Amino acid sequence: MKRILSAFALSFSIACGVANAQVADSTDVNSSKVDSLTQVVESLSSQISDAENEDLQKAIWKDRAKYMNVGFVKQTLTSKDNDVKYKSSAGMNLTWGKTYYLHKKPILNMIKIGLDWSWMDFTYVKYSEVEETYEGEYANPDDYWDVDFSGEEELDLGCHQLEYGMQLGPSITVNPIHHLKVSTYFHFQPSGSVILLDDEVYYGFVPFFNFGAAVAWKAISIGVEGRWGATKYSGASVDDEEDSSYWEEGDADFSDLVDTFSQRMRTKSFRAYISLRF
């Protein structure tokens, strides 16, 4: 009887050991499967996060590289030869260009240095005020518009300025959070300029310099900039004092009807603009 009980106990112990071993093996297999599944999920999550970050970076930088600015212009035109300053009553500008970033990945994950090229920059200004830097007989701006210094009436066409050129220069853009960007820039702007001052027309090439800053959220941006430049303009006007007898005698030509001259002028501008980035 004792032998029978001992054999039964031994058999039971062996069976329990085998069962425990099978349970342990099953637990190890399940744990390994769980670890593998966790790694797969983490890998997929990382890939999705990288893809989302890549899409966000593309939307922030590449998809917003082009810009079109429409702005208000406050401008002065100062004659260095006649000591007269013209002040604008209205002005607008239109700028169209693109920023070419010099590196792919942002510095500190938020800063990019770029080169701005505005292939079109158009400015129109109407002047309505005159400020003279000396006290003279015609210190009143209204008198200055309609009467020249000889006391004779002049042709009053108003005072206007048109400028067309391009801008080129470096910019620094910071992207602190999400789609918010803050930028500053310095541009060189060679431009052709035409000025109509009553009956006189001036034309010249003006090397402007621009310094500005802007704040953008997605496609909308607002900014301000200062601009300055100076050159020697060539000018022309109709000589209405020419003696008609020259024409009757056949001694005059077209040059006798036109006065030509030159004048040194300096332009300063303040621009405030709204920009669309796309």
- d(CA 168, CA 183) in angstroms, rounded, equals 15
What confidence tens digit (pLDDT) does each residue in 200-216 have?
A: 999 999 999 999 999 99
145 confidence band (pLDDT: 50, 70, 90): very low
Q: In Å, how far are 38, 85, 127, 198, 259 from 242, measured between CA atoms?
A: 97, 30, 29, 19, 10
Q: Report the alpha-carbon angle 190-265-149, nearest 5.
A: 150
**Percent of the chain clearing pLDDT 70 (strictly above):** 65
CATH, domain 65-277, list 2.40.160.20, 3.40.50.800, 3.20.20.70, 3.30.1600.10: 2.40.160.20
Residue 159: the pLDDT is 93
Q: Report the alpha-carbon angle 200-191-228, nearest 5.
A: 90
Mean residue pLDDT across the chain = 81
Beta bridge partners of 96: 68, 120
Q: Collect all residues with Cβ–Cβ distance below 8 Å to 130 and sequence separation of at least 6.
A: 84, 85, 86, 87, 141, 144, 145
Query: Which residue's entry shows tokens 């100062």?
Result: 78
Residue 158: the pLDDT is 86
Q: How crowded is the C-beta side of 240, counted as CA atoms within 13 Å? A: 6
- d(CA 15, CA 9) in angstroms, rounded, equals 10
Q: What is the mean pLDDT of residues 150-154?
A: 49
Q: Is the pLDDT of residue 122 over 90?
A: yes
151 confidence band (pLDDT: 50, 70, 90): very low
What confidence tens digit (pLDDT) does each residue in 235-274 have?
A: 998 866 555 555 555 555 556 678 899 999 999 999 999 9
Q: Is the pLDDT of residue 150 over 70?
A: no
What confidence tens digit (pLDDT) does each residue in 25-66 have?
A: 555 556 666 666 677 666 656 666 666 667 778 888 988 899
Q: Collect all residues with Cβ–Cβ distance below 8 Å to 104 and sequence separation of at least 6.
A: none
Q: Is the pLDDT of residue 149 over 50?
A: no
Helices (H), 113-207: 141-146
Query: Which residue's entry shows tokens 């240095």?
Result: 113
What is the Rg, in whole angstroms, of the alpha carbon atoms belonging to the chain? 39
- Specify the pairing of strand 258-277 against strand 66-79: antiparallel
- d(CA 231, CA 207) in angstroms, rounded, equals 8
Is-contact 277 66, C-beta < 8 A? yes
Q: Is the pLDDT of residue 196 over 90?
A: yes
